[in-house]
Structure 1
Amino acid sequence: MDLDAHTNNIEFNQATRSDLPYIVDVYNESIPGRMATADLEPISVGERVEWFKQHEPNHRPLLIINYDGDRAGWLSLSSFYGRPAYDETVEISIYIDNNFQHRGLGNAAVNHAEKAAARIGVKNILAFIFAHNTPSLHLFEKNGYEQWGHLPDVALMDGKQRSLNILGKRIAD
């Protein structure tokens, strides 16, 4: 799909507390596929309130992805490892609503996240991706992310050991 033909249809807006149920719904959609999260059971809105509060527009944005005026997913930049020395490094999360898959939204989200990260003084973006999640690995690799780490067989899901790749990109010097 030619992303350029569709970028005018994509917008990113800061998430509000009223978006949290939608954010949780989209996240929970990903759990059964065992590709995007190590959660094994759906989470509740209440379980995500503290996480939501950690995302401030000028420090750690949490954005709703809109496509043709409809909410189509979300992206977040979260603090890495919770220590001050890592403040210039963030973890990226992108979750696309199942109804909006394969429309170039992931690529647009990565590009938007990099610009947002640069504006808030972030120099490194990390993506934690299961080694068997080839679509997400491909998305980040085509956007210049490289493997910075590999954690073999660190997750057990449905009786299968799963490895985790850490992809990274330096976006500013």
Structure 2
Amino acid sequence: MADVVFREMQEEYLDAVRDIYLHYVFHTTATFHSRPLTREDMREIVFFENEKYKTFVIFREEELCGYVLLTQHKKREAYDTTAEVTVYLKPGCIGVGLGSLGLQHLEEYARKQGIHVLVATICGENEKSIRLVERNGYFRCAHYKEVGLKFGQYLDIVGYQKILA
């Protein structure tokens, strides 16, 4: 897809990114947030003090279609070469390859940052995200049962990882 561009997250994209995220908060179990997030809440999710971690917005033909995050896995030094990946796409932009392009972009950036392992934490019923990471070489390494409660149901999370060469 030659018409896809990744841009580093900027303040001017915050409302659009928040709108995408709020769709998942209110209508899906893709995130375990269940309340509306303020702009400040969203700012804390997508901006990082450590330059190693970044959020990138995805543009296709100048439309902001989603965003991807490379975030800290844990706040202990031994985890410094491990990071978490996250992908959120506008509902109308799913199923056209943007998720895979987003993961590939994060992997390239992660390698430049000295990251060795990428992890993804996904709600067990989120089949689209599970297929996305599996298609991109991630393998399941964990399954935690009934650890989240949203929409009156207990939810599992599954962990995936990819070791970068």
TM-score > 0.5 by shorter chain: yes
Instruction: Report the AA paired with residue 104 of structure 1.
Output: G
The answer as to whether partners of 1:60 and 1:79 remain within 8 angstroms in 2 is yes
Distance 2:48 2:77 in 1: 14
Cα shift at 1:164: 0.2
Distance 1:141 1:33 in 2: 24
The answer as to whether partners of 1:12 and 1:63 remain within 8 angstroms in 2 is yes
1:63/1:47 CA distance change after superposition, 3 Å: same
Cross-structure match for 1:18: 12
Point out where structure 1 has 5 or more consecutive residues left out of the alignment.
Answer: 1-6
Distance 1:21 1:84 in 2: 33
State the percentage of identical aligned residues: 24
Distance 1:50 1:103 in 2: 29
More displaced 10-residue stretch of structure 1: 93-102 or 67-76: 93-102
Q: Does residue 123 of structure 2 align to residue 130 of structure 1?
A: yes
3-state SS, counterpart of residue 26 of structure 1: helix
Cross-structure match for 1:170: 163
Cross-structure match for 1:33: 27
The TM-score with structure 1 as length reference comes to: 0.89
Point out where structure 2 has 5 or more consecutive residues left out of the alignment.
Answer: none
The TM-score with structure 2 as length reference comes to: 0.94
Instruction: Report the AA paired with residue 70 of structure 1.
Output: E
Of the candidates 65, 69, 77, which is equivalent to residue 72 of structure 1?
Answer: 65
Distance 2:44 2:28 in 1: 24
Deviations 1:112-146 (A, max 9, x none): 11111111111111100011111110110111101
Instruction: Report the AA paired with residue 59 of structure 1.
Output: K
Instruction: Report the AA paired with residue 26 of structure 1.
Output: I
Distance 2:28 2:62 in 1: 29
Distance 2:11 2:107 in 1: 24
Cross-structure match for 1:3: none
Deviations 1:144-168 (A, max 9, x none): 1011111111011122111000100
User: Which ranges of 4 or more aligned residues in structure 1 deviate by more than 2 Å?
Assistant: 32-35, 48-53
Alignment of 1:41-60 (within 5 A): 41-54=35-48, 58-60=51-53
Q: Does residue 67 of structure 2 align to residue 81 of structure 1?
A: no
Distance 1:50 1:132 in 2: 26
Distance 2:26 2:45 in 1: 22
3-state SS, counterpart of residue 32 of structure 1: helix
